């Protein structure tokens, strides 16, 4: 993970001159390490209410 963080930050700085990327008029994302660590499964459950490990039928996911 550290290698990817450093690579992305390096490329952003080489291309844009900074690790900060403007995403709206007043919002920026800073690609400089270290990045926040999140648990993918927990984040999906939190944002969708769906636990993909508990789904027995993929068609049910498509319906949601």
pLDDT of 2: 94
Q: What is the pTM of this model?
A: 0.65
With 80 as the cut, is the pLDDT of residue 63 above it? no
Query: How far is 1 from 64, CA to CA, in rounded Å?
Result: 32
Give the tens place of pLDDT for each residue, 8-18: 999 999 999 99
Hey, which residues does 21 pair with through a beta bridge? 29
pLDDT in tens, 16-60: 999 999 999 999 999 999 999 999 999 999 999 989 898 888 777
Domain boundaries, the chain: 1-33, 36-64
Contact by Cβ (8 Å): 53, 59: no
Structural contact between residues 58 and 48, judged by C-beta atoms closer than 8 angstroms: no
At 48 the three-state DSSP class reads helix
pLDDT computed for residue 58 by the predictor: 78
Measured between alpha carbons, how far is 47 from 53 in angstroms, rounded to an integer?
15
């Amino acid at each position: 993970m550290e290698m990817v963080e450093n690579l992305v930050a390096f490329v952003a700085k080489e291309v844009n001159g900074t690790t900060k990327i403007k995403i709206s008029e007043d919002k920026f994302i800073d690609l400089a390490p270290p990045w926040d660590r999140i648990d993918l499964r927990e984040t999906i459950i939190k944002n969708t209410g769906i636990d993909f490990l508990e789904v027995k039928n993929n068609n049910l996911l498509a319906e949601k």
